[in-house]
Amino acid sequence: MTGTLDKDRPAPTPAPASAEPLLVADQVVVEYPAKGWRKAPFRALKGVSITIGAGETLGLVGESGSGKTTLGRAILGLAPVTSGSVRYGGRVISGLDKKQRRALSSEIQVVFQDPYTSLNPAMTVTDILSEPLMVAGTSRTEAERRVKDLLDQVRLPADAGQRLPREFSGGQRQRVAIARALSRDPRIVVCDEPVSALDLSTQARVLDLFVEIQERTGVAYLFVTHDLSVVRHISHRVAVMYRGEIVETGDAATVTSTPEHPYTQRLLLAAPVPDPERQAARRAERRRLAEAGEPVDDSVGSVTDSVGSVDTTGAKGDPA
């Protein structure tokens, strides 16, 4: 292996020259068995289709309980795909057995939301980063060299390797998690709300790191978030999820500034802007929309929502 990620990257498309994008989710349905005898299972995803091209970022926006995290987990093989399929490089990867799934670990990786629980507190950063390498059969010395390289890529000091995760701040931990995801040169990384637990300034820097890595290595991201401004910053295309379905897809600029679907419009107007005057205008606009259109008030809807969110707890639904 050589120094940088892009050099040792294999030829871009392993699949036969199919015209298919890198990753395709086709009418994916994810159901979780409901608690209670003979209850209908809870349907977290109701036939979701997305595509992600190589080197592209697809932003996936939605509120808690919308199923956006579940879609990410279905792609990672952590959530059961009831019907439909997930294809990677033209090959169906949903419903693989454990061994076949493990073979995909060098291709599809993940950065989770919570930088506190996504790193084993008992392991040093070097151990955490070299774990995936050891799986791939990398020698210890080679792994150590690679860990140094990874730490450098995510802008962490070289001596970070000997330390435990708890010695780092949230942003630094998330950098460690990013380094772990990159350690096997994946072609797609599922980023599940990777910056929503971070402070504002840290968030901006970590996002920049994501963009920079993508520009250097050509990795594709499925970027799951609830924050429209984050999604606009990082995504090429955006898909909006609402109650287990995709309601709108399109260019990031279009979806995040002139959305067509009423739900996306609501979402956009609900996000407060850091400018009192513009925010007042936005608030008025939201009120106008609420009064004109269907009731925006959540008090009726959220009762039904809450039933759903109770069911998803077993499935690690979106954090509130």
Partner 1 sequence: MTLPQSEADLTAVATATPVRAGLVRRLLRNPVAVACLVILAVITLASVFAPLLTSQDPARSSLTETLAPAGGKHLLGGDGVGRDVLARLLYGGRTSLLGALIAVSVALVIGVPAGLVAGYYRRWFDAVGSWLANLLMAVPAIVVLLVVMSAIGQNTYVGMAVFGVLLSPGVFRLIRASVISVREELYVDAARVSGLTDGRIVRRHILPVVQAPTIIQAAQMLGLAIVIQSGLEFLGLGSASEASWGSMLNDAFANIYTKPILLLWPGAALALTVAAFCLLGNALRDALDASANTTRRSRRTTRKRKPTAARTVAQETPGTDTDSDSDSDSGTGTGTGTGSGTETRAGSEAASPTDSAPETGTNPQATSTPTPGPNNGPRSGTDTATAGSEPHTGPDSTPQPDAGPDARTISTADAGTKSVADTGPDAEQQPRTDSRPDAGTATGTGTETGSMAGARPGSRTATDALLVLDGLTVSYPAAGGEKTVVDGVSLTVRRGEVLGLVGESGSGKSQTAFAVLGLLPPEAQVSTGRLVFEGTDLARLGRAEMNRLRGRRIAYVPQEPMSNLDPSFRIGSQLVEPVRRHLGLSRAAAKAKTLGLLERVGIADPERVFASYPHQISGGMAQRVLIAGAVSCDPDLLIADEPTTALDVTVQAEVLDLMRSLQRERNMGMVLVTHDFGVVADICDRVSVMQTGAVVESAPASELFAAPQHPYTRMLLASTLEDAEPRPAPGRTPATTTAGSTNTAHQEGRA
Q: Residue 165: which of 198, 204, 126, 132 has the closest Cα?
A: 126
Question: Do residues 142 and 1 touch, judged by C-beta distance below 8 A?
Answer: yes
Shortest CB 145 distance to partner 1, Å: 19
**Residue 114 or 152: which CB sits closer to partner 1?**
114
Strand partners, 253: none
**Residue 43 or 186: which CB sits closer to partner 1?**
186
- C-alpha–C-alpha distance, residues 97 and 100, integer Å: 6
**Residue 29 or 78: which CB sits closer to partner 1?**
78
**Residue 145 or 282: which CB sits closer to partner 1?**
282
Shortest CB 40 distance to partner 1, Å: 19
Shortest CB 28 distance to partner 1, Å: 15
**Residue 139 or 287: which CB sits closer to partner 1?**
287
DSSP per-residue string spanning the chain:
--SSTTTTPPPS--S-S-S--SEEEEEEEEEEPPSSTTPPPEEEEEEEEEEE-TT-EEEEE--TTSSHHHHHHHHHT-S---EEEEEETTEE-TT--HHHHHHGGGTEEEE-S-TTTSS-TTS-HHHHHHHHHHHTT--HHHHHHHHHHHHHHTT--GGGGGS-GGGS-HHHHHHHHHHHHHTT--SEEEEESTTTTS-HHHHHHHHHHHHHHHHHH--EEEEEES-HHHHHHH-SEEEEEETTEEEEEEEHHHHHHS--SHHHHHHHHHSPPS-HHHHHHHHHHHHHHHHHSS---HHHHHHHHHHHHHHHGGGT----
Phi, psi of 186 (to 5 degrees): -70, 165
Shortest CB 279 distance to partner 1, Å: 4
Shortest CB 186 distance to partner 1, Å: 9
Shortest CB 160 distance to partner 1, Å: 11
**Residue 139 or 284: which CB sits closer to partner 1?**
284
Shortest CB 138 distance to partner 1, Å: 12
Shortest CB 134 distance to partner 1, Å: 9
Radius of gyration of the chain (CA): 20
